[in-house]
Chain A
Amino acid sequence: MEAKRRLIDDNGLRLDGRKWNELRPIKMEVGNLKNADGSAYIEFGKNKIVAAVYGPREVHPKHEVIADRALVRARYHMAPFSVDERKNPAPSRREIKISKVIKEALEPAIIVTDYPRTAIEVFVEILQSDGGSRCAGIDAASLALADAGINMRDMVVGVSAGIIDDQVVLDLDDSEDKEGSGDMPVAFLPNLNQVTLLQVDGIYTREKFQKAFELAIEGGRRVYEMQRKALNDKFFGGAPQVVAAEGGEA
């Protein structure tokens, strides 16, 4: 049996050269798909993910209509070529589970009562997967929802933290997730400070849990700044979004 390799060396560097609290390189783009009401593309390390929003739109099948609010649906789907071994395109149980978790992470931010009897559908398509795809998918979906002009209380941002070689680290990639001892994806509303996704994988001491959790929140805030920049670049060309008009004060 192979000895488990070290994921973090004596200098505190991980396999890809990152320190314990470093995020992978992230790239974000808004509005990449023409047909969708809102869309975004994100690269999170080796993850390549497209998110699209259709809505509000008619509910199908009709009997699922909710009279006083929107029905929120999410579909997390991995392309067959997104992982090392080709994956059958039909949705797996894991994808169905993650779809539900993503819906529950995004829905609290959406003001569903503004859109009765409609559906708001979020699609997260993983073109290449490398650990932390559900959080990266949520980060992209949040951009797509804003792009679609859907009323939201706040943006949603997410990143994972976990434990490798007994150390708490931020943003686990695929090998760290598989070979490490704990993975904790967290998503939250950054202005309202409300956590909408938390999954705890592995065993944590109380102290390590707090450290990992707070690291995820802090890392998430950094990702939020990038979301802001992505929206700013697309819509405002980098200019400030609040203007004082006619002698008023911002």
Chain B
Amino acid sequence: MITARDVMEFHLPADGNPLWAETNFFGFNIPEEKINVGIYFLSRPTLGVALASVQIIQGFPRHRIEALYYDEHAHLQLPEKVGDYSLANGLSVKAVNPPMDYLLTYKGNNDTEFHIEFEGLMPPYDITDPEMDPNAPKEKPIKGHFDQTGHFKGTLKVKGKTYKVDSVSTMDHSWGPRPEADYASASWFHVSFGRELTIHSIFGFDPMTPEILDPFAHGYVLEGGKVYGLKSGKGHSTRDDLMQIGMNVEVTDVRDRNYHFTGSAMTGFPWMCWPNTCDFATLMEWNMDGRIGYGECQDVVSMPNIMRRSA
């Protein structure tokens, strides 16, 4: 179970591992404008440094300069708390009601800023807690990760143009060893139909056969304010190289209730979440039995795996 302390304080490795990292990600979207926004913080508490990025994507930019807005700093001073920081790039994140709610503010360049409140709609979903996740490991690992669906509300201004934000989406927070050079591939995505229903999933996949999402790793259904862990799932992707264009997913929760949904990309961006790892990020329009929802998909593939594909 995730506590307020887990959200507020850095987790530190006993051995001082320099590859240890703690991250959080907040992503929200404005479907009617086909805009997808990501706010990422990757800290290395043993090294005293943090990377932070703000990416605002519309359409299908091939490179970060084609983004609507992009700001990435790799060498920021580590803040004192992971739950309350203001960085030199203009980004502030504050857990105002840990572990549930956050305030996200940013003042960047070219008349770009946001002021967003995140209201947690469920307790953090701890993928290492067997009480919560049927796929949790039997023994508690040294690393940790949780996902949490919430309601993002506020304003976003991009190059002087103001947008209203009213988006149900999902944040996450992780800690553990995170090597720069190589990393296992994963597909992390969610489909939200307003506050009533969200399905969040994490699959592994082999970048050499990326059309198959397998194995299913973790996930949940948030329905009517209650959370039900996912037991199993299968998925299939249609891609342009590694970028997802379409998805077809079926998952089963602890109640043995099945959910089958398909997705079609509204935006796509090869986001380098850190410089040696590409996160092929899309905002999907999802269809479940005619019901339309929205949510982000991030397929994380490290540079060595990308290079192996082209060899």
Task: State yes or no: do A and B come from one complex.
Answer: no
- B-binding residues in A (CB < 8 A): none
B residues with CB within 8 A of A: none
